Amino acid sequence: WSAATLSDTWALGGLWGLMPAAIRAIQTSNAGRWILGGVLMGLPFLIRIQTATWAIGWGVVLLWNRDRRKTLAWFAGGFAVAVLLQGILDCVTWGGFLHSARANVGKNLVEGMADRYGRSPWHAYAGLAWESLGWPLIVLILSAIAGSLLLNRPKLRIMDALVFVPAGVFIAAHLI
């Protein structure tokens, strides 16, 4: 458990730390920067392959947003660079291309190890959040809604979607 928790902490810390730079990169009109955005979002994959669900969420947002659709192929190419780096690293350390990713998927999905340790019904996370935070959770949610209304942002912006859609994909992946 401690190794998984440690890799989650580093991977998600890297993901959230790199996300603002990746968002800025894909908001430009420069294809090279779009590739950089993909590479930045792919770096946490080197630590924990489950962070690929965030890239899937980004892909959904880029595909959904007509103005950003053209960035998707470049972003995916940048993400592929990070996956290629993982494959080369695995060749050197484990003797096979993407060995660690294949072993992880094989153990957790094929052999069912994830069923024993990392899967809960959809409502379990809400219950855990309530147990951990209680009434401050209600205050936090109401503050977020009030802040959104005060800022007069009735329309979902691309930056909002690039945070919330991948989070939804990540959470949904844990429910499978």
Confidence of residue 89 (pLDDT cuts 50, 70, 90): very high
For 100-120, write each residue's pLDDT tens digit. Answer: 889 988 887 788 777 676 566
DSSP H stretches of helix in 52-112? 52-64, 71-94, 99-105
Chain mean position to CA 125: 17
Long-range contacts of residues 135-144, Cβ cutoff 8 Å, at least 24 apart: none
Distance separating alpha carbons of residues 78 and 41, to the nearest angstrom = 8
Distance separating alpha carbons of residues 121 and 155, to the nearest angstrom = 31
Structure tokens at 44: 């946490």
Describe the crossing of helices 31-42 and 52-64 by its angle, rounded to 10 degrees. 150
Q: Which of 157, 162, 166, 164 is nearest to 57 (CA)?
A: 166
pLDDT number for residue 81:
94
For 116-174, write each residue's pLDDT tens digit. Answer: 765 666 677 677 777 877 777 777 677 766 666 655 555 556 666 666 667 766 666 65
pTM above 0.75, yes or no: no
